[in-house]
Amino acid sequence: MTTTIPLWDHAAPYAAQGHEDEMPHLIPFIQPGSESAVIVCPGGGYGFLADHEGAPIAELLNRAGISAFVLNYRVAPHQHPAPITDGQRAIRYVRAHAEQYGINPAKIAVLGFSAGGHLTATLGTLYDEGQPDHEDLIERQSSRPDRVILCYPVITMESYGHAGSRENLLGSDASAKQIKAFSAEQQVRADAPEAFIWHTSDDQAVPVENSLRYALALGAHGIPYDLHVFEKGSHGLGLAEDNHAVRVWSDLCLTWLKNQGW
């Protein structure tokens, strides 16, 4: 039986009406001896969660000696702020329980695909240091990821963005202020985490400009990044096992993590 870790011991905040009993949760893939962890956010346009972008990625990380947690965050009909609240809570949870899992609380990365990449980029730009006096010990933890890994991510809510992700997250009547706030390339801070990013140049669903914009924003702040753009490959490839040119992304990513001390 798969172990699941509910993110709250009470009803999750910001639930959509009629869906108050839905509980976002983590599925742990603990690798004994690992001091680092990666939280995996599957894609699905904020409408569903793609299975092939969850457990198979965690298992890949385990084979590389890295612990992982797959995040089942809330999607439509839940809208903002439910997904980012789930993501921040997941980071806080892993950090609060780092000693239990043998993890260094300063070695917690987030990896996301497509809309899960948007969630990941958002977590890497909209974070806080926690509330030191909160009665919930988890809420005292920082929500800042130490590294982010973006796989054909949705980044912007403006041109080149993904209309379905924007509507599912922000609704059909999103304000200009909301659109800017959730265009991650416009929210990069000077202390944003370093990033590994990959995309394909002919992605028809989420154009490569999303990744390029985020890389440029990081560069403008002097934040290191490792960007890989492959010539051909459809959206939603996951591990890309059937695409000989693109499937090397996982080796490149694991090498990057190793060089980061993961």
Per-residue pLDDT of the chain (262 residues; tens, 9 = 90+): 579 999 999 999 999 999 999 999 999 999 999 999 999 999 999 999 999 999 999 999 999 999 999 999 999 999 999 999 999 999 999 999 999 999 999 999 999 999 999 999 999 999 999 999 999 999 999 999 999 999 999 999 998 889 899 999 999 999 999 999 999 999 999 999 999 999 999 999 999 999 999 999 999 999 999 999 999 999 999 999 999 999 999 999 999 999 999 8
In whole angstroms, what is the distance from residue 117 CA to residue 238 CA? 12
Cβ(200)–Cβ(208) below 8 Å: yes
What is residue 240's predicted lDDT score, i.e. its pLDDT? 95
Q: Which positions ≥6 away from 175 have C-beta within 8 Å?
A: none
Residue with tokens 């990365």: 109
Cβ(236)–Cβ(43) below 8 Å: yes
Q: Is the peptide bond before 145 cis (omega within 30 degrees of 0)?
A: no
What is residue 160's predicted lDDT score, i.e. its pLDDT? 86
Q: What is the pTM of this model?
A: 0.97
Q: Which positions ≥6 away from 89 have C-beta within 8 Å?
A: 7, 8, 24, 138, 143
Q: Which positions ≥6 away from 72 have C-beta within 8 Å?
A: 4, 24, 25, 26, 27, 49
